[in-house]
Amino acid sequence: METTRDAAADMTRTLDEQMARAEAAVVRARAHADRITRLRGRGSYRGVHVIVDAGGMLTDIRFDDATRGTAPATLAHAVQFALRAALTDVMAAARAVTVETWGEDDPVVLSSLDDMAARFGIERANGQGAS
C-alpha cells in the first residue's frame, strides 16, 4: 500500500514539475512576443531616414535638407537603401532578443528568423536570416 502511495506522490510531483515548467515557458513566450512587438529598426541613406516595426512596416520616414533637389529616381533609390538598412536592423534586434530568450540553437530561433528574413527578402548574413 505504501508503495502505491509513494508512486502516486512521485507521479503527482512529476506532473506538478512539468506544469510549472510549461507555465514558465508560456510566461517566457509572452514576454518574448511583447519585446519583439516593441522592436523598431532604423536605417538611413543619403538624407533619408526610416523606421520600421518588427513586422517590417514603415512607421516613419524623414528627409533631411540633403535630399532637396534630388532627382526622383535617386531619392527612390535612397529610400530603398534606407528601408533595407532598417529591416536588417530590426531583424538583428529580433535575433538578439530571440537568442537571449530561447538560446542560440533553439528551433524557435532558427524558424522565426528564417520566417522574418523570407518576409523581408533579406538573405542570411552571419546567422541572422534565411539563406
130 and 84 both lie in a single domain: yes
pTM for this one?
0.79
117 and 131 both lie in a single domain: yes
Q: Is the pLDDT of residue 99 over 80?
A: yes
| pLDDT at res. 131 | 35
User: Which stretches of the chain are DSSP H helices?
Assistant: 2-38, 72-102, 107-120
Q: What share of the chain is helix, strand, coil (3-state, %, to 5)?
A: 65, 15, 20
21 and 57 both lie in a single domain: no
Domain that residue 120 falls in = 40-131
23 and 74 both lie in a single domain: no
pLDDT level of residue 129 (50, 70, 90 thresholds):
very low
